[in-house]
């Protein structure tokens, strides 16, 4: 791993460990967190669930007693929106997104993207393998895996210069678990 990337990796994992240990009121060294390079971070069974996202100038850490996924992107990120829609978005999403003006399309694609990437983190999947299979429902509150019908509840919001998404299984949300209010999110 190149030095700058290695430094970023160490810093993000150290920060994540510190935040979650503080939340759980234990020494950071005692937190059973596994976070090897190239793998999603995870806690030992019974300690809850973590999700991590970063962009060049921000890091988002989430903890919940229920399985969650988070993602963030800069709201002003330049992306080839039209090409992304045609290549990675499901057939049901494409007509509405392709009909938007350039700026509206870029914004809508970013919003879909963070929801889908959060779903892939929930799934512990791969962006390259799984992105085209997740579809955002028109109201934006559900993200659905077209392969097996998995439905995840989705929350999207803006914080400063970033767009953030959080997903959790529909069953957890219906059972009273609101991951936004029963867990921890920290953006730095």
Name the stretches of the chain with pLDDT < 70.
1-6, 172-185, 187-188
Q: CB-hemisphere CA count at 13 Å for 147?
A: 7
Element of type H or E holding 11: helix 3-24
The CA-atom distances, in angstroms, between 173 and each of 135, 151, 182 are: 19, 11, 11
Amino acid 170: pLDDT:
77
38 burial type by CB count under 10 A (0-12 exposed, 13-18 middle, 19+ buried): exposed
Amino acid 94: pLDDT:
96
Indicate the number of domains in the chain: 1
Q: Could you give the CA distance from residue 33 to residue 56 in angstroms, rounded to a whole number?
A: 24
Q: Could you give the CA distance from residue 107 to residue 15 in angstroms, rounded to a whole number?
A: 30
This prediction has a pTM of 0.89
Amino acid 38: pLDDT:
81
Q: Is 86 within 8 Å of 135 (Cβ atoms)? A: no
Other CB atoms closer than 10 Å to residue 26's CB: what's the count?
13
**Residue-range definition of the domain harbouring residue 60:** 3-187
Amino acid 103: pLDDT:
96
Amino acid 125: pLDDT:
95
Amino acid 165: pLDDT:
95
DSSP 43: E
Q: Is 72 within 8 Å of 162 (Cβ atoms)? A: yes
Percent of the chain topping pLDDT 70? 88
**Residue 60 sits in a domain of what CATH number?**
3.90.470.20
Could you report the per-residue pLDDT of 102-116, keeping only the tens digit for each? Answer: 999 999 999 999 999
Question: b vs e for 117-140, b when ≥16 Cβ sit within 10 Å of the residue's Cβ?
Answer: bbbbbbbebeeeebbebbbbeeee
> Considering only CA atoms, which of 63, 42, 68 is closest in space to residue 186?
63
């Amino acid at each position: 791993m190149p030095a700058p990337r290695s430094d970023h990796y160490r810093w993000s994992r150290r920060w994540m460990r510190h935040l979650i240990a503080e939340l759980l009121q234990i020494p950071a060294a005692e937190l059973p967190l596994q976070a090897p390079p190239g793998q999603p971070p995870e806690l030992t069974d019974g300690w809850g669930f973590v999700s991590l996202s970063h962009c060049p100038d921000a890091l988002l850490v989430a903890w919940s007693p229920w399985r969650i996924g988070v993602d963030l992107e800069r709201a002003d990120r330049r992306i080839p929106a039209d090409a992304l829609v045609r290549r990675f978005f499901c057939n049901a999403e494409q007509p509405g997104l392709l009909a938007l003006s350039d700026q509206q399309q870029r914004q809508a694609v970013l919003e879909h993207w963070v929801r889908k990437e959060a779903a892939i983190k929930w799934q512990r999947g791969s962006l390259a393998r799984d992105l085209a299979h997740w579809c955002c429902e028109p109201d934006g509150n559900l993200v659905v895996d077209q392969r097996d019908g998995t439905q995840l509840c989705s929350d999207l919001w803006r914080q400063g210069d970033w767009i953030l998404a959080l997903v959790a299984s529909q069953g957890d949300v219906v059972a009273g678990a609101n991951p936004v209010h029963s867990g921890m999110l920290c953006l730095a």
